[in-house]
Structures are given as C-alpha cells and as structure tokens.
Structure 1
C-alpha cells in the first residue's frame, strides 16, 4: 500500500464504513421513535402508496358506520312506536269487546266508545312522532330509506312500514262503533289491524337484524384493513431494538477503526528520525 501524507486510503475506507453505520443507525432510531418501518414515500414508495390507499378505505368506513348506526336508531324509534301501537290496538279490541255486551246501559257504552276513540287517536300520534333526525319509518310519509353500506357509496335500503291508521286498515268511518252490534264487528277489525301491525313490526325487526349484521361486518372489515396497513408499515420493535444495540457497538468500533487509520501517516515521520 502506498504510504502518503496526502491520501490515507485506510482512513477513507473506515470513514465510509462509519458513515454507512451512522445511516443505518439513524434509520433504526427513526423506526423506534415512530414505530413505523415505512413512514414516508421516501422509505418505500410502493408500500407507502399501498398503505395510504388502504388507510383511506378504512377511514371511509367511519362514515359508513355512522350512517348504519343512524339507521339503527331510526328503526329502533319505529319499533318503539310499533310496540306502543300494538298495545293500543289490544286495548281497543278490549273496549270493542266490552261494548258488544248488550246488557250495558247507555252511559257505560258511551264511556267505552269514548275510550276507544281516544285510543285510536293515540295511534296516529305515536306513528307521527316516531322520528329520528327528522326521519320516520312508521308514519307513511316515505316508502323507504337508504343508508351507506360500503366505502364505494353503496346503499343498505330499509322499507318503511306505515303504522298509522291508514296503514293498519282503520280507514275513516269504519274505525269506531255506534252500537253493540257494530262494536262486535269491530272486534274482528281490530284483530286484523293487530295482525297487520305485528307483520309490519316483524319486517322492521328483520331489517334491523340485517343492519346490525352488516354493521358488525363493516367493523370487522375496518379492523382487517387497519391490521393490513400495520403489517405493511409497522416496525418490529423487538427486532429494531436488537439491531440498535448491534449498530451502536458497530459505530463504536468504526470510530476506533477511523482513529487507528488516522494514526497511520504518523509512521512516516519515523522514517525521517535519525
């Protein structure tokens, strides 16, 4: 090897190795600090781009979950109104049955008739007030309501169920009684209305179950996407910690090697000593 005071190949090589070690050490420390092996496009452009797209899909599902949860609440309100309405229909049937008794005096009959009509009015109020966020599935003002189903804008559609008087078949003029005989006829009408109401509530319940199932699926899908992104960009901290120890030792040795290489030109001076 050429002995020169102008160029020290050994020191240059030692410096190159030390710089490489310092670069690796900085990368490892960055991974430990951030918890990510791919934090920017500079680290790995392809993986970073893929992770960003998956993260965007996962974030979009938050809007889907919000919409589906709003759908749950809307259906729950309609179901609550439906429970009230079926109770009212049951009581109306009882009033009609009691009024069909021919032994009643006029005052008792009229009291039952008044109670029956009051209960009838409460049905319409219950259906009209069954709104969540201004939307109702029970008052007959809408045919169906759609909620977000996926990040692409697909819809989960719920069919509305009219639980008002018209929806239950209790049309004006035929949903009261004026005599014991018409009260007896009203018993069958109320039975049919009660059956209609329970069928409609069953349909809403099925929609609610389907919505709950889909919401659970969306949650699992989001978790899977987040886990997938983690697999792409997260650092193995146990591995990086072990690597840090190794690089710190390697750095110390590199500093010593550079120090030794820098002493090499000093040997040339010994050649000029008498």
Structure 2
C-alpha cells in the first residue's frame, strides 16, 4: 500500500466509515427517544415485533370481551332489581291474603283488601315486562339464556340461565286471575304466595351468584389485559435513561469523527512540502 498518495486517502476512508457508523447509531438512538420504543417497526427486530403484535391483538380483543361481560352483568343487575321488586310485592300480597283470611271481615273490608291484592298482582307483570337491558330480559316468559364472551378468541362463554318470574310460572305460581275475594280463597292464597316467595328468593340467589361470577371475570380480564400490555412494553419499550446517556456519547463521538475526518483530509497537504 502506498503510504503517500493524493489519489487514495486510506485514513480519510477509515474516518468516514467510522463517522457513518456513528451517524447510523445516532439516528437509531434518536428514533428510540422520539418513539419511546426500541422496536417500533418490523425492520428493527422482526421476531420481537411479530410477538408484540400478536400480544397487542389479544389485548385489544379483550376490550370486546369486557364490553360483552359488562352487558351481561348489566342484564343480570336489571333482572335482580326487578326480581327484588317482585319479592317485595309478594310479601305485601301475603300480608293482604292473611288479612283477608279473617272470617270476621265485612264485605267492604274484604273487597278493599282484594282490590289491593289485585293491584299488587298486576304490578308483578309490569315489573317483569320492564326488566329489559339492551333487548335482553332474563325473567319474562320465554326468556332465553344469555351468553357473554369469556376469552379473546370467543371459544369460551359465560352463560346465565333465565329465571322466569312472570305470573303462573314455575317460580311465581300466583295466577294472573288470582284473588282473595273469599276467606277460603285467601287461605289458599297464603300458601301459594308463600311458595312463590320461597321460589323467588332461590331464583334471586342464583342470579346473584351469576352476577358475582361476572364481576370476578371482568376483574380477571382487566388484570390479564394489563399483564399483556406490560409484557408488550417489556419487549418493545426503550430505556430512555439509557438512550439519553447513549445519545450524549454518540454526539461526542460524532464530533470527534468529524474532526478525525478533517485531519485525514488535510494530511495530503503535507505532501506539498516535498515539492518546495
């Protein structure tokens, strides 16, 4: 290799290579500081980026799961609220039936009690009919089970069975025409309403258990989503303190590289002294 040549400046070549490498590192570090990520695109690290994207997809899918669970829980909550109203109405109906079973009542008093009873009876129908959320009603006649998403791929569901609290059903056995117009009818109604109260309490207990299950699963899904997001962050987020220190070093290195290149470029000027 010719040491003294004006055509080939090896020192300048090496200095330029080092400066270009420094500039490339500096660009990478500045990009990490700007985005806050060490893997912002597939070209940064294809394998890590692919893993992170898959986890992001799962995390975002869990948003739909939480929305589905929230709708399911709200449907149950509405059913429970209406069911508690039905239970309260049945308690009042039993009181009226017990009062009407007294054979010493006169006709006017019995008639008044019967009218109160029928008003309470009809109110049950109104409560059941209006216990609807987002088009779903768990306690009306013909109600069907409600299924909510339980995982990110939709392969698992959280289901709640209906608890029909309509009149003349398997739970509330009081018929839509039931009355306490006579002492005999009132006495029979005491047993009917009592059984309906027991059945309604059991139905509400089942709905309450399901509501608790929905709440627990919503909490779990939230924690799972947080863990996934944290995992993605561990994979792709940059350590900004480290990048800041590296930036200072690279900026200094860049300045020195420019100086080194300048020195290498001026070295050929010394050859002029040979021709003086």
Scaled to the shorter chain, the TM-score interval is: over 0.9
The aligned residue for residue 106 of structure 1 is 107
Alignment of 1:108-257 (within 5 A): 108-153=109-154, 154-165=156-167, 166-172=169-175, 175-257=178-260
Report if aligned partners of 1:67, 1:147 keep a CA contact under 8 Å in 2: yes
Distance in 2, Cα, partners of 1:172 & 1:76: 26
Q: Is the 8 A contact 2:174 2:196 kept in 1?
A: no
Q: CA deviation at 1:247?
A: 0.3
Residue 77 (structure 1) aligned with residue 78 (structure 2): yes
CA distance in 1, matches of 2:19, 2:172: 88
**Structure 1 residues without counterparts, runs of 5 or longer:** none
5+ residue gaps, structure 2: none
Could you tell me how far apart the structure 1 residues matched to 2:157 and 2:131 are?
23
**What secondary structure, in the 3-state scheme, does the structure 1 residue paired with 2:105 have?**
coil
How much has 1:134 moved relative to structure 2? 1.1
TM-score (norm. length: structure 1): 0.97
Equivalent position SS for 1:5: coil
State how many pairs are aligned: 273
Between stretches 66-75 and 185-194, larger displacement belongs to 185-194
Tell me how large the CA RMSD over aligned residues is.
Answer: 1.2
Helix, strand or coil at the partner of 2:275: coil
Give the CA deviation at 1:174.
Answer: 7.4
CA shift, 1:141, in A, is 2.0
Superposition deviation, residue 171 in structure 1: 5.0
Q: Secondary structure at the match of 1:52?
A: helix
1:182 Cα deviation after fit:
2.2
Kept after mapping to 1: 8 A contact 2:174/2:193? no
After superposition, the C-alpha distances for 1:83-140 in whole angstroms (9 at most, x for unaligned) are: 1101100000000011011111001101101111111111111111100011101113
Helix, strand or coil at the partner of 1:218: helix
- SS of 2:151's partner is coil
How many angstroms does 1:34 deviate by? Answer: 0.3
